[in-house]
Amino acid sequence: MVLWVYSDRAYLVEPNAKSRVSSYFFLSNFISDLSKATPHLNRPIHTFSKILKNIVSSAVEYEIASAFENGQDTIVIHHTLIKMGHPQPPTPI
């Protein structure tokens, strides 16, 4: 049982040049070769959607900001799963 995160972003779609980030957290099987990763898509254990407060000047800056937002939620769930007895490799986002 391994935590996976699918992330989606929408750059400059909200009023006042704001951008939106959303994520889908789910548990699936362990895949050792992430380049060929197609995990079995399960029901979500957590979903996340937010309008970013900061206005970024490029899509690359936005990718980094959305990865940071997703990483903050990922850490809490990752540690909770470890304490429940499910060892976790690095979480693919």
* Per-residue pLDDT reduced to its tens digit, 70-80: 888 889 999 99
Residue 82: the pLDDT is 92
- Tens digit of each residue's pLDDT (9 = 90 or more) over 30-63: 666 555 666 667 788 888 888 777 777 777 777 7
Residue 52: the pLDDT is 75
What is the spatial distance between Cα 81 and Cα 25, in angstroms, rounded to a whole number?
13
In this structure, how many other beta carbons lie within 10 angstroms of the beta carbon of residue 32?
A: 7
CB 1 within 8 A of CB 81: yes
